[in-house]
Amino acid sequence: MQSRFFASFFRSVVPRSVVMAGLLTILSIAGPLAARADEGMWLPLYLDKLNHARMQALGLQLPADEVFSNDKNSLKDAIVWFNGGCTAEVISKNGLILTNHHCGFTEIANHSTLQHNYLQDGFWAQDYKEELPNPGLTVSFVRSMTNVTKNLLEGLDPYNLSDADKATLRSRVADLTKSLNKNEGKGTEVLIRPMYYGTEYYAFVLETFRDVRLVGAPPSGVGKFGGDTDNWMWPRHTGDFSIFRIYANKNNQSATYSAENVPYQPQRSLTISVQGIQPGDFTMVYGFPGRTQEYISSYQLELITEVQNKYKINLRTQRLKVIDAAMASAPSLRLMYADAQATIANAWKKWQGENKGVARLKTLEAKRKEEIRFADWAGSNSAETISNLVGHNRNYAEVVPSLARWTDSLRTVALATDYYREAILGNGLLNFATTWEDALKSMRKMGGQAPAPDKVASRLKSLSAQNKEYYSQHDEAVERQLLAICLRAYYLDISPAFHTPELQKLVKQHGGDFDKLAAELYAKSLLANATTAGKGLQMLLKGDTSKISKDPALVLFRSFNRQYASTLVPRYQRFSQQLETATGLMLEGNRAKNKEKSNIKYYPDANSTLRVAYGQVNGYSPQDGVQYKHYTTLDGVVAKHNPDIEEFNVPKGLLDLHASKDYGRYAVNGTVPVAFTASNHTTGGNSGSPVLDARGRLIGTNFDRCWEGTMSDLQYDKDQCRNIVLDVRYTLFIIEKLGRCQRLIDEMNIE
């Protein structure tokens, strides 16, 4: 499940607004030094210039402007950014969209109760009236993509920006954003993103829809089949899909939820092919890949794999042990923690595969050799020669030493920054403390005095709703154990220089016993459970904020947050910005020296903007003596069936269909295809992306990568990197035969 961790992380730290140079160093965009084989997540704006000939050689039968065009309807108009973290595709003229089950998991879970457990049993709306609204869920179409580098950087050197230059850049971004919004009309927003470490800029005009309703989802025995055991693995048998519908007002324009809204009539919907696939067939993935770091330095790669990944894996292992035990102990806890467990486990398993892949490929050694070659080139060319190549005065001889120096600086704060997210914000109680802290700040601004003003009462009503949601998803006994684990890890793994005085005091008071520390914190905090939190709300209603302000959970969170904001963030941003500048300079130099080499092409790293990846249907060999086929079938699903293990418990209805061979038009050689692998370069954010054939028809939905290839965010390997695709024939089979929702089949265009 590529996108679960990415989606939640991205939405929490990245506003959907213009990202300007130097303002968001953590997620700045880099570009690889040179694409190898068919790797790459390419800007569709340049397919005709950079990729179309190669795509045709692999089998593509469409002109470039049918794949992407700013001037006419194209395949891009059937692709949506799903809630800022996944991708979905339009599959009917009535706004039906298809994405992954794990992308829609939160919405499915939110609608589930013990009486109507849609996660466990599935959900199929038999008419429009049964389709379920999802407040806050959005989908966005890219209506245009434009290179605006000249508009923004003319007369500026992106790596030597004075304060005045930065002000000029900000002003240009604001003016351009306003202009594009005005030109494109109402209901749109403009996203401006830097590429290649800020040396190029692109403007994306988005049309965002805010009434998106749940239409269908298979039972967890299909949509989450294999669970964490099979996650990131091949062979795979997961029916990882869910279906939503976009609604619009009567003028077919974006609108917030209303009972008067009607199904959206899209500019483009995908034709679906059930004609099947063969090894070597052309495949194309269209979507919004989240983040890659293909050509960071050897120094930064070592920091990621040997420090950051290593410690985060260990902490998540401990958290998962507690959550898994709780989920196994009671059905209510299984439902309560299903979403959290899947989110935590997803990145945990991915990081392990990433580390193994980097080690297997000897990526560190390869990067070190590359850096030596770059330093030799920089030292053997005059300043005048380099200046003529680049167009700016550069001293590339200092780049590699700078990469080493700034990575060493970043090393001092990187893990502490990670642990603020993993152990502090990753903990239920301390994360929820942020909600109460925000409420207190609002009260102070509004002058919370009894009797409470209307605005205060409204704010507390919102807090009451947030309380209800939080306590429905967190168990006090489980959370107490998790708090002990998180605080212990922070204290033992992070340098004492980043221990807050409040943490040191608590550890000393309890003799280093973190279980006792957590127990006492819960015993004294009003945030411990719904009952005590209710008492806290009553205090706030009376205008009494003093006791809440001194609550031990808030005091502890406040100490971490204060240190994060005042110490960690400034250092992290400063070191990251310097490191990214050095990495960008190395990239700039390589692009310049290879400018005349037609066989070397560059693509910008993923940054949640619309991209195309292309490849072929293929199996792979994960190790010596083992060769995986490119497909799996329903026979394999049934072979894995185990009613005693939740994640491998096949629904009875599916077992009955298998026994009776009631497969309809989806039958192939006495079974039903389930999934297949291809060589497309994908990452988090590509979950839910359509996988298209040579004619642009939908043949599957991207949902994962093989474990041996998860290092593709750092280095692509043509032999091991395989994206895992849900065969559209299995999707349709489940909808029609298991879900008995023929109305959905009838509104699709199927060939």
Give the mean pLDDT of 445-470: 72
Report which secondary-structure segment, H or E, holds 142: strand 139-147
In the prediction, which pLDDT does 459 show? 74
CA distances, 592 to each of 28, 385, 589, 600, 613 (Å): 21, 11, 5, 11, 25
3-class SS at 559? helix
Q: Contacts from 430-434 at CB under 8 Å and sequence distance 24+?
A: 430/483, 430/486, 430/553, 430/556, 430/557, 430/560, 432/470, 432/474, 432/527, 433/527, 433/551, 433/553, 433/554, 433/556, 433/557, 433/558, 434/557, 434/561
- Rounded Cα distance between 573 and 25, Å, is 6
In terms of pLDDT, which residue wins out, 408 or 595?
408
Categorize the per-residue pLDDT at 36 as very low, low, confident or very high, splitting at 50, 70 and 90. low
In the prediction, which pLDDT does 26 show? 28
For 283-317, how does the pLDDT look when each residue is reduced to its tens digit (9 = 90+)? 999 999 999 999 899 999 999 999 999 999 999 99
In terms of pLDDT, which residue wins out, 74 or 227?
74
Tell me which residue of 121, 134, 297 sits closest to 209, measured CA to CA: 134
On the question of pLDDT at 30 being above 50, the answer is no
C-alpha 363: how far from chain center: 24
Residues 6+ apart with CB under 8 A from 154: none
On the question of pLDDT at 37 being above 80, the answer is no
In the prediction, which pLDDT does 56 show? 97
Report which secondary-structure segment, H or E, holds 215: strand 211-217
User: By 3-state DSSP, what share of the chain in percent is helix, strand and coil, each rounded to 5?
Assistant: 50, 15, 35
Active-site entry in 240, 281, 418, 727: 240
Tell me the residue type at 343: T
Query: Is 510 a known active-site residue?
Result: no
CA distances, 202 to each of 149, 192, 248 (Å): 7, 6, 28
Active-site entry in 28, 69, 77, 102: 102
CA distances, 463 to each of 8, 335, 541 (Å): 21, 23, 11
Active-site entry in 74, 687, 689, 712: 687
- Rounded Cα distance between 323 and 286, Å, is 35
Which of 9-18, 549-558, 592-601 is least confident? 9-18
Average pLDDT, the chain: 91
On the question of pLDDT at 186 being above 90, the answer is no
In the prediction, which pLDDT does 183 show? 58
In the prediction, which pLDDT does 28 show? 33
Residue pair 298/405 in contact by the 8 Å Cβ criterion: no
Residue pair 48/64 in contact by the 8 Å Cβ criterion: yes
Residue pair 601/50 in contact by the 8 Å Cβ criterion: yes
Query: Is 102 a known active-site residue?
Result: yes
What sign does the CA torsion over 14, 352, 119, 638 have? Answer: positive
3-class SS at 286? strand
In the prediction, which pLDDT does 228 show? 84
In the prediction, which pLDDT does 275 show? 97
For 44-70, how does the pLDDT look when each residue is reduced to its tens digit (9 = 90+)? 999 999 999 999 999 999 999 999 999
On the question of pLDDT at 249 being above 80, the answer is yes
For 486-504, how does the pLDDT look when each residue is reduced to its tens digit (9 = 90+)? 999 999 999 999 999 999 9
- Rounded Cα distance between 724 and 297, Å, is 29
| Residue with token string 């309703």 | 213
Give the mean pLDDT of 127-143: 97
In the prediction, which pLDDT does 283 show? 98
For 678-729, how does the pLDDT look when each residue is reduced to its tens digit (9 = 90+)? 999 999 999 999 999 999 999 999 999 999 999 999 999 999 999 999 999 9
On the question of pLDDT at 430 being above 50, the answer is yes
Token reading at 326: 């709780």
Query: Is 240 a known active-site residue?
Result: yes
Looking at residue 22, the DSSP 8-state letter turns out to be T
On the question of pLDDT at 23 being above 80, the answer is no
On the question of pLDDT at 454 being above 80, the answer is no
In terms of pLDDT, which residue wins out, 338 or 141?
141
Tell me which residue of 696, 679, 701 sits closest to 630, measured CA to CA: 679
CA dihedral 272, 276, 277, 282 (to 10 degrees): -30
In the prediction, which pLDDT does 35 show? 52
Give the mean pLDDT of 336-362: 92
On the question of pLDDT at 22 being above 90, the answer is no
In the prediction, which pLDDT does 451 show? 43
* pTM score of the predicted model: 0.85
Q: Is the peptide bond prior to 451 cis by the omega test (within 30 degrees of 0)?
A: yes
In the prediction, which pLDDT does 440 show? 86
In terms of pLDDT, which residue wins out, 400 or 5?
400
- Rounded Cα distance between 402 and 638, Å, is 56
Token reading at 541: 């209603």
On the question of pLDDT at 746 being above 90, the answer is yes
